[in-house]
């Protein structure tokens, strides 16, 4: 089932917004003109990543400063689990997620 999140026309560089889907908080961002959907939860200790800083495609968690690549989802630091990433789906003029 397709769950729409946002209209394509609103996906501008710098876009960042959270959505609740099936009890999970998801974070949709546009980085390098590419939409990326991740869980809004740091894999380290669960801080919300919606408040993270962004440098290039590297997202840095505000709580302890661990960094994650939005291209690969991997943590920059060895030994830390990567981001929980979701595949985006498209229907009409909307981007969303298949659940």
Q: List residues binding ligand FES (CB under 6 A).
A: 42, 44-47, 61, 63-64, 66
Distances, alpha carbon 42 to alpha carbons 38, 45, 88, in Å:
10, 6, 20
Distances, alpha carbon 95 to alpha carbons 16, 34, 57, 84, in Å:
14, 12, 20, 18
CB of residue 64 to ligand FES, shortest distance in Å:
3
CB of residue 12 to ligand FES, shortest distance in Å:
26
CB of residue 38 to ligand FES, shortest distance in Å:
13
- For ligand FES, give the closer residue by CB, 63 or 74: 63
Q: Which two tokens stand for residue 92?
A: 């009409």
């Amino acid at each position: 089932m397709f769950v729409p999140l946002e209209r394509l026309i609103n996906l501008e560089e710098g876009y960042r917004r959270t959505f609740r889907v099936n009890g999970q908080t998801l974070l949709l961002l546009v980085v390098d003109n590419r939409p990326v959907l991740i869980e809004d939860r740091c894999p380290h200790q669960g801080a919300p990543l919606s408040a993270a800083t962004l440098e290039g495609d590297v997202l840095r968690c505000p709580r302890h400063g661990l960094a994650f690549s939005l291209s690969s989802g991997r943590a920059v630091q060895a030994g830390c689990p990567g981001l929980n990433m979701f595949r985006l789906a498209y229907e009409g003029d909307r981007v969303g997620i298949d659940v």
